[in-house]
Chain A
C-alpha cells in the first residue's frame, strides 16, 4: 500500500487540455502530484477545478496534452479500481432502498472484474471502510434513514472499500454539518497516513486544512497558484470565494457541539 520511493507520480498533467465535447475548460495545464501527497484543488465555481478531477476520472475528455494516472495514460489505466472517487452528490439517490453495506460493497466491485463475486476479503474491507467513517452500527440500515452528513460518509466509505491508491473527492465538505466535517478530516488523516494520495476538490478546506498540505488553485481554466496550503489563503479569499448558496441542512439529527443554541419549541420539523 505504501508507495515505494520509485513509484510513478499519482497524477501527471503535461500541457493538458480537458473539457466536454470539444470545448476545453482547462487549457495547457501542467501538474504533478507525487504518490502519497495530500492536495487541495481550490478555486471558485466555474474555475475548472471539478473538470480537472473529472478529467482524471475519465468523466471529462482529454482534448490535448498528456494526462497520466498512476503511471498510465488516463484512458489506458487497466485497474481503475485503484482510483477511488467520492462524488459531489450530497445523498445516495437510488429509488429502491439499499443498506449501508450494499452501497459500500459497490466500491469493491471495480476490483473484481466482470464476474467474480464478493468474497470474505471483500466483506472484511467493506466492514473496515464502514467502521472507518464511524457507521459500523448502521451497517444494515437503509441509507435513506441516515442524516445528510452520514450519507456523505457512506459515499466516502464506498470509495475507501476499494482501498484506492489515489482518492479523488469532489466538494466533500459542501453542505455538511461541522461534526461530519471534523469526522471526515479524521478519516482522511488516517487514509493519508497509510500512503494513499489525496486529491480534494473544494472551495474552502475548513477542518481539512489539517490534513491537506499542498494547494493547487485553479482560476479561469489555468493553475494560478501551486504551493503550500497555508500560502493559498489570500489567493483563496481574493475574489475566489464564491459560495453557491446556503449550506444544505443536515437531514436528520444534529449533534450539538456548541452549546449556544436558542430554543424554539414546537418549531416544526
Chain B
C-alpha cells in the first residue's frame, strides 16, 4: 500500500491506533456516569499546559500532561466539595484553561511551534518518533490502570453513593479516573485535537452502549469501534486531504447514527410484535384467573393461560391488565416445574 511507504503516515497510523484503543477504554466510564463533557473540559485545561510547554521550550506534551492531570485532580476535588458552586467553578476552570492557552501561545517567540490550530484540531502527520514513544508509554499506563482498577471504576461510576456506603475509596478512584481522562486527552491531542478529544472517548462508547448486553462487552466493543474509526479515519484523511481529527469523528458519528437507527428499528419491531400479540387476545376477550376454565401455565415470573392452544400472558399497564401472546404452542407439562419465585 502506498500509504505505508511514508514514515510520517506510518507514525500517524500507529498514533491513531493507540488513541483509538485507549480513548474509549476511559470514555466508557464517563458515559456510564453521564459525565461525557468532562473530557472536553480537560482538553481546554490541557491547552494551558501546552502553552507553558512551548513558552519554556520544554516538551509541550509533557507540560500538557502535567497541566491536564493537575486540572483533573482539581476538578474532582471541586466536584467532591459541593454541587451548586461546583458547576460554576468547573466552567471557570474550563474557560480559564483555553483562554490561558491562547494568550500564552501568542506570547511565545516567533519560530516556535505556536500553531494553535494544530493543537485545537490535531496535526497527526507531525508526529515524531519521540512523540510515539511518549504516546506508547501513556497508552500502556492507561490500559494497565483500567485493567487493574476497572471493576472498582465501574462500581464508582455505576452507583457512587453505594460505593461510598460500603467503603470503597470513592474520592481516590474518582481522581484516578480523572487522571486517566487527562492522560488520554494529551495522548489524543495530536490525532484529533483538543476540541474533538471528547468525541473519540464518548462516541464509540455510546455506540457500544446501544449494542452490548454487559459492561465488559460494552468496554471491548467500544475499544474495537474506536480502533476501527481511528485507523480508517486517518487512512481516509490521507486520500481526501481532510484533517484527521474531523474525519475520524465524522466517521464515528456516522456509525453512531446507523447504530441508533438500528436500535430504534429493533425496539419498534418489538413493540409491533407486542401489539400484534395483544390483538390476538382482543379477538376473543376473556378475563383470565383461577378457575376461569383455561389451564394456568407458569412462565418465568408470571402465569400464562392456555387459550385454545396459545398462551395468554397478563401484565399490568397504566390502563389495567393487558394480555400478551406468549407463543402459540403449549407443551403438556405439569404447571409446577417451571418458573421461579417471583
Contacts and interface: CB of A to CB of B under 8 A. Distances in A.
Interface of A: 57-59, 77, 79-81, 83-85, 87, 89, 92-99, 101-103, 105-107, 109-110, 114-115, 117-118, 134-137, 140-142, 147, 149-150, 158, 162, 177, 179-180, 183, 186, 249-250, 252-256, 258-269
A106 B155 contact: yes
Contacts of A263: 281, 285-288, 320-321, 323
B266 interface: no
Given A254-B316, A264-B320, A266-B275, A110 B168 contact: yes
Given A109-B168, A255-B301, A261 B32 contact: no
Contacts, number: 199
A96 B322 contact: no
Contact of A250 (B278, B316, B321, B323): B316
20 contacts: A58-B165, A59-B161, A77-B167, A81-B166, A87-B159, A92-B158, A95-B34, A98-B214, A99-B215, A105-B151, A106-B151, A106-B155, A109-B155, A109-B168, A137-B340, A147-B301, A263-B286, A263-B321, A264-B320, A267-B322
Contacts of B159: 87, 89, 92-94, 106
Interface string B295-318: 000001111000000000111111
A163 to B, nearest CB: 12
Nearest to A118: B151
Interface string B16-57: 000000000000100111100000000000000000000000
Contacts of B300: 253
Contact of B161 (A87, A95, A98, A118): A87
A253 B315 contact: yes
Interface of B: 28, 31-34, 148-149, 151-152, 154-155, 157-159, 161-169, 172, 205, 208-209, 212-218, 271, 274-275, 278-279, 281-282, 285-292, 300-303, 313-323, 340-342
A249 B151 contact: no
Contacts of A97: 209, 212-215, 217-218
A105 B154 CA distance: 11
Interface of A is mostly: loop
A113 to B, nearest CB: 10
Contacts of B28: 96
Give the one of A96, A115, A186, A262 with max B CB within 10 A.
Answer: A96
A217 B217 CA distance: 46
Given A252-B315, A262-B320, A80 B167 contact: yes
Contacts of A92: 158-159
